[in-house]
Chains A and B, each alone.
Chain A
Amino acid sequence: MSPLDRRVFVKRLAMASAAGAAAALVPDAAFGDELSRYLDDVRDLDWRKTPCRFCGVGCGLLVGIEEGRAVAVRGDPESPVNRGLACVKGYHSVQALYGRDRLTRALVRRNGRLVEVSMGEALDLVATRLRETMEDYGKDSVAIYGSGQWTIPDGYVASKLFKGCLGTNNVEANARLCMASAVTGFTTSFGLDEPMGCYEDIDHADVFVLWGNNMAEMHPVLFSRMLERRRQAPRGMIIDLATRTTRTSYAADRSLLFTPQSDLAIANAICHEIVAKGWVNRDFVRRHVSFKRGRTGIGYGLEDSFRFDDQAVDATWDDYVRFLDNYTPEAAAEVSGVPAADIRWLASLYADPARKVMSLWCMGMNQHTRGTWINNLVYNIHLLVGKIATPGNSPFSLTGQPSACGTVREVGTLTHKLPRGVVANEADRRFAAEIWGVPYERIDPVPTYHTVDMFRALDRGDIRFMWIQVTNPMVTMPHLNRYRAGAEKEGRFLVVSDVYPTPTTDVADVILPAAMWFEQEGLFGNSERRTQHFAQHVDPPGEAMSDTWQLIEVARRLGFQEQFPWSFETHVEDIWREYTRFHDTPAHRMAPIEELKARPGVIWPFVDGRETRWRYNTEHDPAADRAYGTHDFYGKPDHRAWIWLRPYEPPPEVPDDEYPFWLNTGRVLEHWHTGSMTRRVPTLHRAVPNAYVEINRTDAQELGVRNRDRVRLVTRRGALELEARIDYRAQPPRGQVFVPFFDEDLLINELTLDAYCPISKQPDYKKCAVRVERLRT
């Protein structure tokens, strides 16, 4: 295409994107023939469907293909997720395939230097070192660390190879860093993972309470849907309950700022008020709820030797009421800084019989040293008032990655999990062994290392071989200095499969070039239990290969041809058919591949050709038994949801004289996670080229810091120089600073603390103590 042609084409593409967004946002808007002249060229492209891969919402996209290259994107108007809309990452997404330094050849480190080798030679080396390491150090000296960006086949073959064939439970994924507390929240409260509702809840709800969730930047398409619902609902309202002021706060009807960690006290105080005012839905509680008490004073996982198992002990309604005595709104106000009157007002919204209420959250509640507890406590609120699992009444945990649910949670690529059930359960092991075609005894009944522990084991030398796929832990691990030093030690062998060079490939012994997104066929599963299939639309560059096929090639080199018999042409379909045997029950049946190819995703359980939008609701869920009434929480043996008595406990590290600020970290709209892809998209990179530190204006004045001055942040673990931003896109309250983690050149995780929730083992990236030093210019 000539330069002139390209300019004309891009302008027409831009107009087409704007028209698509307009159709999604204002369905009644009508445009005349004038628009047609912009769209004619674009219509001629070969448009193919795919889910977006740049967050957990799972927007449907249409990708325009021309001469074997993706050249255009628009939202898929047939997708029920986004109805034709996309966010700025989505609209620019395909450019991430074509960065100049894309990895296209395998690289092997020899004498300290990376040299190109053929893919076959690299895979031979991976298989040889994997076998030798197991022979020298035992089966639990090898590990695989994947991602919520793994496709479902990627995760499935990884689990089958490592757990089923090699016999080690050293399988983890970065979803441990973002969603593990949501998982344990669901399983402890309901016995089964994943939300009971779906995005359609947004179209029915009146009140939206966002718990530490900056949806305007992290889930912008769902946020737009929520804003539209508020516009239409007569009593529509958005409440932003957060630790800093963000773009979400500005769009909300009320913004309530709380002290980090005090969400535990606020949630209990809301329940206290509901009980005190007699707003409890007594019939619902009597029929559908049990009360449980767990262990308290449970620690923070800072020591390598730390171990914790919770224990549920029966409690009564009276026990619960006595427990709540400690959480009057006034007491919670003392801890949280949120006025008691506002806590009472929140309780009245939850309890108002005329309003449907959604609670939404993501990393704010999950990356929390009491992440499981705060998930439990928000469910407690909904259970007390009986506002759960009906259209518009929905506690909803949003995910951050395109297949954190589909791959990590449903396939079970965590140390304790199997595709169905857990390794500790003999029946689950036997079931998996039969499908996998391996001896039952091969699957180890004892979980090994969760993510933080896995990198500690690598540091100690208990793990010697680690294969990392589609994630970048040398940017994302908390207390990063320790874990990077561990990875670089002598005697460690790291294999990294990725699409671009990253700080993680920097420490690799073998780099395998990976196919990205729709350069391969695959499936993702999003936040609302929707599985989406995508075909291969373009060829991967050079010798790049899907993670699935890399694993199959190595498995065969290790002698497991029988377990990995598939042809390249049909392996994704064959894997799907094998995998879905694990979920062939009314509670979790998955759609056949033919249905997935034909539709813009299908929500499971998929039974008799119908999706299940509201689980546990006996009108909607084929697994729920109407004998239990309106709801059947069949994940628990007593068919009841559990209200947990979970107290407020302080975080492990709080500001003091030496480190007087809270350090909070997170993402920005324009960048996906560690920026390894979105920083290769010029428009996104230029929008936010480098990390920065947000400082409260008054704090900055007291420190003598002006906007864009350079400052040094210091914690007990490290120091980092950054540009200060004041009244930028968000504002922390006094005593807090915020730094995004997308920038591989400014590694904020060298400063963060590797404390985690003892139940979920998910680290807390949202709070540790930091000092801010002004730098002389």
Chain B
Amino acid sequence: MAAVVAELGAMGGCDVVAARTGELLLLVTETDTQAADRALRARIEGLEGVRGLLLTFGDIDPDTEDPDPLASGVKANSPSPEARRP
């Protein structure tokens, strides 16, 4: 447990609060891009001693990411997408 906390602390972008009992820790990560998020998650999953991750909250900053998911969607089969934007 202590080793995992130490390794997470050394990664950067990770805030860790470990439970006093049991093998449980709360982890908040912060990255600048989606790619960095994926890379960080892969590193965490690869740590020896990490048996599982449960995502409870995620947030994408609207100032740095496109907040309108449908704007990038494929519209191939949409019946009349232009009518969708009154």
Q: Which residues of A contact B (CB under 8 A)?
A: 3, 6-7, 10-11, 13-15, 17-22, 25-26, 28-32, 34-35, 38, 86, 88, 91-92, 99-101, 103, 105, 107, 114, 116, 474, 484, 501-503, 505-507, 511, 679-683, 685-686, 689-690, 720-721, 744-747, 750
Contact = CB atoms under 8 A, between A and B. Distances in A.
B10 interface: no
A738 B79 CA distance: 23
Contacts of B19: 22, 26, 29-31
B24 A26 contact: yes
Interface string B1-35: 00000000000000101111110101110100010
A77 to B, nearest CB: 14
Contacts of A20: 56
Contacts of A18: 26-28, 56-57
Nearest to B82: A506
A10 B21 contact: no
Given A19-B26, A30-B19, A10 B59 contact: yes
Interface string B32-52: 001000000000000000000
Contacts of A683: 58-60
A27 to B, nearest CB: 11
B56 A100 contact: no
Contacts of A720: 77
Q: Report which residue of A29, A501, A680 has the largest number of chain B beta carbons within 10 angstroms of its beta carbon.
A: A29
Contacts of A91: 56-58
Contacts of B34: 686
A384 to B, nearest CB: 39
Contacts of A10: 59, 61
A474 B58 CA distance: 31
Given A683-B60, A744-B78, A745-B76, A689 B69 contact: yes
A721 B74 CA distance: 11
22 contacts: A6-B61, A11-B28, A14-B28, A14-B56, A15-B17, A17-B56, A17-B57, A26-B22, A31-B20, A35-B26, A88-B55, A100-B68, A105-B86, A114-B86, A505-B83, A506-B80, A511-B86, A679-B69, A679-B70, A683-B59, A745-B76, A746-B77
B57 A745 contact: no
Interface of B: 15, 17-22, 24, 26-28, 30, 34, 54-63, 65-70, 72-80, 83-86
Nearest to A85: B56
A689 B24 contact: no
A101 B67 contact: no
A31 B30 contact: no
A589 B34 CA distance: 51
Given A13-B59, A99-B68, 12 more contacts: A10-B59, A11-B15, A14-B28, A30-B21, A100-B67, A101-B85, A103-B86, A501-B85, A505-B84, A682-B60, A686-B60, A690-B73
Given A92-B58, A686-B34, A30 B79 contact: no
Contacts of B86: 103, 105, 107, 114, 116, 501, 511
B13 to A, nearest CB: 11
Contacts of B55: 88
Contacts of A26: 19, 22, 24
Which one of A10, A35, A750 has the greatest number of beta carbons of chain B within 10 Å? A10
Given A744-B78, A745-B77, A746-B76, A29 B69 contact: no
A737 B84 CA distance: 30
A85 to B, nearest CB: 9
A3 B60 contact: no
Given A18-B56, A29-B19, A114 B83 contact: yes
Which of the listed residues B59, B60, B66, B67 has the most CB atoms from chain A within 10 Å of its own CB? B59
Given A7-B61, A114-B86, A506-B84, A35 B17 contact: yes
B54 A21 contact: yes
A92 B55 CA distance: 11
Q: What 4 A-B pairs come out closest when comparing CB atoms? A: A685-B69, A17-B57, A683-B58, A18-B26
A35 B24 CA distance: 13
A745 B56 contact: no
B59 to A, nearest CB: 5
B78 to A, nearest CB: 5
A414 to B, nearest CB: 28
A444 to B, nearest CB: 34
Contacts of B74: 690, 745-746
A283 to B, nearest CB: 46
Nearest to A109: B83
A29 B1 CA distance: 14
Contacts of A13: 57, 59
Contacts of B57: 13-14, 17-18, 91-92
Contacts of A747: 77
Contacts of A511: 86
A151 B76 CA distance: 34
Contacts of B62: 682
Contacts of A682: 60, 62, 65-67, 69
Contacts of A685: 69
A503 B70 CA distance: 13
Nearest to B58: A683
Contacts of B73: 679, 689-690, 745
Contacts of B79: 474, 484, 503, 506-507
B41 to A, nearest CB: 12
A25 B56 CA distance: 12
Contacts of B75: 745
A750 B83 CA distance: 20
A43 to B, nearest CB: 16
A99 B75 CA distance: 19
